[in-house]
Structure 1
Amino acid sequence: MATVRASVYRRNRTFETITKAMPAPAPGEALLRVRRVGICGSDLHIFQGHLDHRVPIDGTIGHEVLAEVVSAPADSTFAPGARVVVEPIRFCGTCRNCRMGATYLCRDLAVLGVDATGGMQDYWTVPVDRLLHVPDTLADDDAALIEPLAVAVHDVGRARVGAGDRVLVFGGGPIGCLIGLVAKAKGADVKVAEINPYRVDLLQQLGLSTIGPDADPVEVAREWTAGDGVDIAFEVSGSPDAARVVTDVVRVWGTVAVIAIHAEPVPVNLYPVFARELTLQGSRLYTRAAWEEAIALMASGSIPASRLVSRKIRLEELQQGMEAALGGGLVMKVLVDLTL
């Protein structure tokens, strides 16, 4: 019997690599050989136990996946050997949210790698309608970041960032960095507030202006805009300190976009929302259109995604990779390389 490696979540900040039977695709599914899986901020929430109500014990996580097709239904457009990325959501298509077009906010939403089996394994079966082709011109490490880039594209689109907008991003981790790069690609003037010196340096290398740990983002925004405030502020850090001040930096009729997962309620200054008639905008996951735009952006060369990758690890090293990503330090993005 053919077997594969898979990482399973044992709870209590513990992952273990096991051997299990090769998965068999059901009708309508493709069998994929996984090449790369990114460690995401939501994976770190899983690691810390914040999503234990959703992730089954001994479940396999991983939703930022680059893979190649082993087999697919004959009537699909995916031939064996084709490289693909996976839009890791399942939705009903019939609830009110789905009928509105918000399938990614389905009442019965299931995220592969959270609520259902994910890609931290050598081979994975996925409904073929969740696959998108990867352009041949993209290297594996770039293509592996299409999923978080789709998140950033969706976030920037929801906030209606346009050319000439002044945009302040709180949090320069992978998603905050990609939001900054996407906003800049749309012609916005962008600053990213980040306290990790390694990330500040990397953000600057990528052409993004930064607000470091020794500067006050509120004061910087005031000086930058002659007291008006920025057009759009993104809260991507998950920091209570950022949540407290994010409404203070935005101009009249401006937008505050909340992207981070805050595991606990945090104080927010709502007075500016009233006084300056701010729009408070949430953003989560992505649409299929955001995926298509992300692939086009990546293929254009305007988003140097692979430069975010600070470490690549084997599947058996997932535990250490999680600890490194959670610890900060000299880390931006950790990729699990399933070809190793």
Structure 2
Amino acid sequence: MKATRYEGNKTFNVIETEVEAPAKDDVRIKVAYSGVCGTDVHIYHGMMDKRVNFPITIGHEMSGTIDAVGDNVTTYKVGDKVVVRPLDDRGVKPSDKGFNHICEDLKFIGIDSPGSMQQYWNVPAFTLHKLKTTTDLKLAALIEPLSVAVHDVRLSQLKHKETAVVLGGGPIGLLVAMVAKNTGATVIISEINPVRISKAQDLGFDVINPTHTDLIQYVKEKTEGRLADVVFEVAGVQPALDVMTEIAGIRGRIVMVAIHGEKKNIDLFKFFWKELKLIGARVYEKEDYEKSIQLITDNQLPFEQLITDIQPLSKIQEVFENIDKKPDGLKILMDCQL
């Protein structure tokens, strides 16, 4: 079979290796598609060299079909369409308070152990979620990032007819916006990239470029001065942190979706003055995956418009090089059987 190996120093290789039988509690998946996410790009840029052990097969946004099952696996069978929730929580402790998705010893499959950018992938059966036979496996490859968005919106407690502002219109930002809008909320997206602005507009969103339009004033006008009920900070840049407390209304909720690796300046006075809440959100839980699967299965939202390219696994080096050259794309899928 073909498998990709990240060697470090912005270098991928595609190798031929043996297909392995699954261990007794594992299944072997014939991987259909594997999405390229921001974390994969961070690995490519060397930003996670202290964590990742080279060489490694990366990837965790995927869809596929079970090809073989281990001796102890009875819940799944060969031919089942599945996705993997790539969290290995076998190190959970009582001090983790039952929140296995953020337990102290959590391992992320595809980062801390081999991932999905290969033709066949052996994974623990407890990580699987079964799909319907009619599920489009291209769309199913979006279930992992969609689950991030579902988790973010669920933790925000966003309600029907409330106003949400999404700071950042990249892949996760657009998914957050789609899930938020699906709750019946009014959604405004703030984004500076013209290609992503155009895509968000094509998806029917109210989008502004904050370098051209005063975002605070715009939100005031749209809400008759009430400002946003929920703000999703997805951009991960200081200007977004500066404005998030300004556009949140009284008792507004701010959800920190972006990952900030260093300490940043935040206007804490606004939290006192307006009784704001800051909500951390990390990955997802089982119920978020199930909700995402239902959204994909219902196929009532234009998820297919987020897929901007599909490339064969054999071109993985070229794919990552092109992301650096043209970073305004949305979701690129690797066809893991080519």
With normalisation by structure 1, the TM-score equals 0.94
The farther-off stretch of 111-120 and 239-248 is 239-248
- TM superposition shift of 1:47: 1.6
Structure 1 residue 189 corresponds to structure 2 residue 151: no
Structure 1 gap ranges (5+): none
Structure-1 residue corresponding to 2:177: 180
Structure 1 residue 111 corresponds to structure 2 residue 108: yes
Counterpart pick for 2:161 among 156, 159, 164: 164
Counterpart pick for 1:23 among 16, 20, 23: 20
Structure-2 residue corresponding to 1:130: 127
The farther-off stretch of 318-327 and 47-56 is 318-327
Aligned residue runs from structure 1 range 19-98, under 5 A: 19-73=16-70, 75-92=73-90, 94-96=92-94, 98=96
Aligned residue runs from structure 1 range 290-301, under 5 A: 290-301=288-299
Structure-1 residue corresponding to 2:323: 325
Contact 1:310–1:333, Cα closer than 8 Å, also in 2: yes
2: distance between equivalents of 1:140 and 1:49? Answer: 30
**Secondary structure of the structure 1 residue equivalent to 2:17:** strand
Structure 1 residue 282 corresponds to structure 2 residue 280: yes
- TM superposition shift of 1:187: 0.5
- Relative to structure 1, the CA distance from residue 320 to residue 54 in structure 2 (aligned partners, 3 Å threshold; closer, same or farther) is same
Structure-2 residue corresponding to 1:209: 206
Instruction: Give RMSD over aligned pairs.
Output: 1.7
- TM superposition shift of 1:67: 1.2
- TM superposition shift of 1:102: 1.1
2: distance between equivalents of 1:221 and 1:324? Answer: 36
Deviations 1:270-304 (A, max 9, x none): 22112111100110110001000111111112332
Contact 1:163–1:186, Cα closer than 8 Å, also in 2: yes
Structure-2 residue corresponding to 1:307: 305
Counterpart pick for 2:233 among 229, 232, 235: 235
Which residue identity is paired with 2:89? Answer: F
- Relative to structure 1, the CA distance from residue 26 to residue 77 in structure 2 (aligned partners, 3 Å threshold; closer, same or farther) is same
Deviations 1:189-221 (A, max 9, x none): 001111111111111221221112522322222
Contact 1:67–1:85, Cα closer than 8 Å, also in 2: yes
1: distance between equivalents of 2:214 and 2:95? Answer: 40
Structure 2 gap ranges (5+): none
Equivalent residues, number: 336
- TM superposition shift of 1:329: 5.0
2: distance between equivalents of 1:11 and 1:309? Answer: 27
2: distance between equivalents of 1:203 and 1:124? Answer: 34
The farther-off stretch of 182-191 and 217-226 is 217-226
Counterpart pick for 2:151 among 150, 154, 162: 154
**Secondary structure of the structure 1 residue equivalent to 2:23:** coil
Which residue identity is paired with 2:153? Answer: V
Contact 1:164–1:189, Cα closer than 8 Å, also in 2: yes
Deviations 1:48-82 (A, max 9, x none): 22222221111111000111100114642322122
Deviations 1:25-57 (A, max 9, x none): 111000111110001111122122222222111
Identity %: 36
1: distance between equivalents of 2:268 and 2:34? Answer: 38
With normalisation by structure 2, the TM-score equals 0.94
- TM superposition shift of 1:254: 0.6
Structure 1 residue 226 corresponds to structure 2 residue 188: no
- Relative to structure 1, the CA distance from residue 318 to residue 128 in structure 2 (aligned partners, 3 Å threshold; closer, same or farther) is same
- Relative to structure 1, the CA distance from residue 114 to residue 151 in structure 2 (aligned partners, 3 Å threshold; closer, same or farther) is same
